[in-house]
Amino acid sequence: MRLRNIPRAEGVLEACKEVVKNPAGQKSRWHELFQNQNPVHIEIGMGKGQFLLTLAERNPDINYIGIERYSSVLLRAVEKFQLLSESPKGAPSNIRFLCMDARELPEVFAPGEIEKIYLNFSDPWPKARHARRRLTSREFLSLYAKVLPPGGTVEFKTDNRPLFDFSEEEVRESPFFTLDGLTYDLHRDAGMNQGNIMTEYEEKFSAAGNAICKLIARKSPSGSEG
């Protein structure tokens, strides 16, 4: 899918202090940027930002970083953040934004610097020749293993069953992760759905009657970081 270029995106992101301009310069120093020692969680492919902004509001003792590859997509989340900033309640202070490719994670975060990674309704890349581009492929799992500590988790949600089945198999075959939780119908699974925050896509797909799948992968204590 071709993304529509939004000319003003670069200027808006440059002017927003919550958008980190030199993320590689923060490697091993993210706690300094947040000015606390709270755990850091990231969402890769944050879309319009509803999921991560809600998490940040509900959990002030956790630092959140939203990652998008394209400025035109990240713009939507930043604009939503700015609207919150102008409201009486204000926007959460425990959130930052990055415009970067997820393949650069080890260049931006030190080993163990991230405790949890969220992947929500990621691009399925349905053609077999593009399987390595899927954010739950073994190539990406090996990258996540480099920045998560032992016991750190990856949480993945989708309504795309072929992508979910692929992701489950990739986790089961990974030397870095074990499958810690799985459901094929999240909203009917009382245990897995507890505390669930819906994304914009999740609201749309579930309203259309689509079952939402979710898995949790936990980094093995003995797993190599690659």
Q: Which residues are annotated as a binding site for S-adenosyl-L-methionine?
A: 43, 68, 101, 123
Taking alpha carbons only, the member of 170, 157, 169, 163 closest to residue 124 is 163
Q: Which residues are annotated as a binding site?
A: 43, 68, 101, 123, 127, 159, 199-202
Distant-in-sequence, close-in-space partners of 46: CB < 8 Å, separation ≥ 6? 52, 66, 67, 68, 74, 77, 97, 120
Please report where in the chains the tokens 């713009």 appear, as a residue.
75
Instruction: Look at strands 40-44 and 63-68 and give their pairing.
Output: parallel
Is 189 annotated as catalytic?
A: no
Catalytic residue among 123, 165, 180, 189: 123
Distant-in-sequence, close-in-space partners of 128: CB < 8 Å, separation ≥ 6? none
Contact 108, 24 (CB under 8 A): yes
Instruction: Look at strands 177-183 and 153-158 and give their pairing.
Output: unpaired
Taking alpha carbons only, the member of 67, 79, 74 closest to residue 41 is 67
Question: Would you name the residues annotated as active-site residues?
Answer: 123
